[in-house]
Chain A
Amino acid sequence: MAIIPITGSRNVELYLKGFLQKLNFDIADFHLYIVEKGQVIPENGLSIVFDETSINSLRSLLENLNGKPKEISADLVMGKKNDSYHPLTYSTICYFFAQGNTVLCRTDAEQYEVNKKLYLLEAELLSRGFLRINKSVIINVIWIAEIIPWFGGKLLLKVKMIKDELEVSRNYVPAFKNFLGL
């Protein structure tokens, strides 16, 4: 069955595209539509309408449609440090950040190089609670200790365990607030 995610907010579209690609769905055909509540429902074909609260049910439905078992390695990312590789679970990663052409991830103790592009991580990991907060950082929402409203309409995020403070730039504040359900 072919599925295309359409007419959702930017975050939802990215999330669904990443998720469907992981399940090897063909997103080029137009038989079944997934539409976020409040968006225009296409006149032809069959549409699944969902909202933020039902996104987990939608995930289960798509997984069952495809019948593909979850990969064990899906929870891991390889981090490189001093020419050695370390498997890292996503839950231990506080945030990913870009430094020039290199993408790194920060855990509570160390910093590792990751062989993935930031925009791919953004699409892939939204469903795991990772969210882009500025041009160069994707944060794991679990690791946010506190949000401070900052000047010029920006937000400052304090990260748990480590003393890092990350800024949500003005362009990303609406998406961040949307993610929080505000």
Chain B
Amino acid sequence: MIKLTDLFFTIALSSCTGALVGLPVILMGDWDIFPNLMKSAFVGMITGITVRVAFTFFYRNLKNSSILPFVIFFIIIAGGTCGGACILGLRNVLYHLIITGLAELTGMLMAITGYNYYIKLNKSLEKIQKRFK
């Protein structure tokens, strides 16, 4: 179950990420910064919540595979970013590539950082368990 505080955290983090990812393209296109930044944050928020729900689902159901969640995150981020940008009226292929590339880079960096933290925690757990056995 997703708690309300977790949801707020996800919304805040993904909105900021969405805004940051959209910023270079908004500047390159010389568009109005504020409304486009808001749209970008909105797309980021939707993608972030989707990834969050997917993570909870895959954690419960596909725990034996460590690669599959990364592949699924990659697809969700790409789909969410491209789809969101299309709905908001972005047609330039180059801008799509830039925005998706940045979103993938940010999202996958977060996922890899999280995975490394997971490995570190569980290795330490193994050590401490040996001490108490």
Chain B residue numbers with a CB within 8 Å of A141 are: 125, 128-129, 132
Known: A152-B6, A152-B9. A147 touches B129 (CB 8 A): no
Interface size on B, residues (CB 8 A): 20
A135-155 CB contacts (< 8 Å) to partner B: 141-142, 144, 146-152, 155
Select which of B59, B114, B128, B133 is within 8 A of A180 by beta carbon: B128
When chains A and B are docked, how far (Å) is the Cα of A146 from the Cα of B125?
A: 8
A161-182 CB contacts (< 8 Å) to partner B: 177, 179-182
Chain A residue numbers with a CB within 8 Å of B6 are: 150-152
Contact with A along B18-46 (1 / 0, CB 8 A): 00000000000000000000000000000
Interface size on A, residues (CB 8 A): 18
Q: How many A-B residue pairs have CB under 8 A?
A: 47
Residue of chain B at shortest CB distance from A129: B132
B98 vs chain A, min Cβ distance (A) = 28
Check B118 against A147 for contact (C-beta < 8 Å): yes
Select which of B117, B120, B129 is within 8 A of A142 by beta carbon: B129
When chains A and B are docked, how far (Å) is the Cα of A132 from the Cα of B26?
A: 48
When chains A and B are docked, how far (Å) is the Cα of A182 from the Cα of B123?
A: 10
When chains A and B are docked, how far (Å) is the Cα of A141 from the Cα of B132?
A: 8
When chains A and B are docked, how far (Å) is the Cα of A167 from the Cα of B9?
A: 16
Task: Please give the residue numbers on chain A whose beta carbons come within 8 Å of chain B beta carbons, in ascending order.
Answer: 128-129, 141-142, 144, 146-152, 155, 177, 179-182
Task: Please give the residue numbers on chain B whose beta carbons come within 8 Å of chain A beta carbons, in ascending order.
Answer: 5-6, 9-10, 52, 59, 114, 117-118, 120-122, 124-125, 127-129, 131-133
Closest 3 CB pairs of A and B: A129-B132, A180-B124, A151-B6
Q: A129-B132, A179-B128 are in contact. List 8 more A-B contacts (CB 8 A).
A: A129-B131, A147-B121, A148-B59, A180-B124, A180-B128, A181-B124, A182-B121, A182-B124
